[in-house]
Amino acid sequence: MSHAIDFSAIPDQERVAFYGLLFAIAAADGSFDAEEMVVIQSMLDVTDMNDDSLEKIRSYRVSPPDFAECLVVLADCRDELRHGTMMSLVDIALADGILTEAEEQALEEAGRALAINDEQVQAMLDLVEEAADILNRNSSTDLDNSQIRGRARVLAESGITHSAAFFSGIINRLISVAPEAVANALNIGLGRIPGAPISVIVGSTVQITVSELLSQDSPVIGDEDGQRRKLRRERAHEAIEHLQSTIEELMALIADSKNQGADVDIDIETLEARCDGLRQLARTRRSALEEG
């Protein structure tokens, strides 16, 4: 069975549902944190999507879709996409370092719909949290590669396809900045050949981490080659463009809502706060790019 996924070859309906789920779980706790937004914006790949699909995704930035309805669309898709979708949901839920009760419930609902059991979901959570812990140490010294290898092995032994691991932005970030030994430990745990190429997912979350990697306080654990840096910068520019587009759409919605007055059922203060947060985030990302 092939473990590569070319997102541009996936039907628009499934791609729209996939991205819709990410926006929906980011808003599951009643808020839509800026960091969660930039993670999603950084991974959007709308190559060859039709106009209707593009419009739906644009609308999700302001009003996330129904979580359950998106799950129905993906319930019968191939294993690699189902498993990868669940890993992406775990990744977004952990983006701000806190797993809320609402996010836990959303993950449970997704597990049932996507036929992924509690053991498998826990294995995903453990692997992502271990990767985040290594990153937070901000040092290449005294890394215990056996931990990440062990977490990856548990994930593989639970029956999850190894490509699912690379739907995690945190894991891709770790691979981008950590010594080669860390990536090799991850590959070994997943049952892959050490040194095997990481970018097994074409047009997906292999690029999710650029926004964090280019932030001013981002750790750099190891050396990077020029091609990877170039790719990261290109994707960072795209992420900023997505952010700016979202800001403009929010501003238009706010202006329209104010014009309609009491006739519209929209929390304008919440939208304005979200817009302010995204503006600050865009400024930070642009500054990081200019200094990078």
Using one digit for the tens of pLDDT, what is the confidence trace for 169-183? Answer: 788 777 777 777 777
The answer to whether 212 touches 138, Cβ cutoff 8 Å, is: no
The answer to whether 70 touches 32, Cβ cutoff 8 Å, is: no
Which pair of structure tokens corresponds to residue 90?
């775990």
What is the predicted pLDDT for the residue at 54?
A: 86
What is the predicted pLDDT for the residue at 173?
A: 76
Average pLDDT, the chain: 75
Q: Which of 23-27, 42-46, 243-247, 263-267 has the lowest mean pLDDT?
A: 263-267
Confidence of residue 212 (pLDDT cuts 50, 70, 90): very low
Confidence of residue 217 (pLDDT cuts 50, 70, 90): very low
**Whole-number Å distance between alpha carbons of 151 and 135:** 15
DSSP designation for 27: T
What is the predicted pLDDT for the residue at 204?
A: 38
Confidence of residue 14 (pLDDT cuts 50, 70, 90): very high
For 125-144, write each residue's pLDDT tens digit.
999 999 888 877 755 555 66
Nearby residues of 165 by Cβ (< 8 Å), 6 or more positions away: 87, 127, 152, 155, 171, 186, 190
Q: How many helices (H) and strands (E) does the chain have?
A: 13, 2
Q: Is residue 16 pLDDT above 90, yes or no? A: yes
**Whole-number Å distance between alpha carbons of 268 and 114:** 35
Nearby residues of 229 by Cβ (< 8 Å), 6 or more positions away: none
What is the predicted pLDDT for the residue at 153?
A: 93
What is the predicted pLDDT for the residue at 36?
A: 67
Model confidence pTM above 0.75:
no
Burial (Cβ within 10 Å: 0-12, 13-18, ≥19) of residue 266: middle
Strand partners, 201: 5
Tell me the CB-side half-sphere exposure of residue 207, using CA atoms within 13 A. 20
Q: Is residue 213 pLDDT above 50, yes or no? A: no
The answer to whether 250 touches 281, Cβ cutoff 8 Å, is: no
Closest to 123 measured CA to CA, from 143, 96, 148, 100: 148
What's the CA angle centered on 243, arms 241 and 244, to 5 degrees? 65
Tell me the three state secondary structure of residue 202: strand
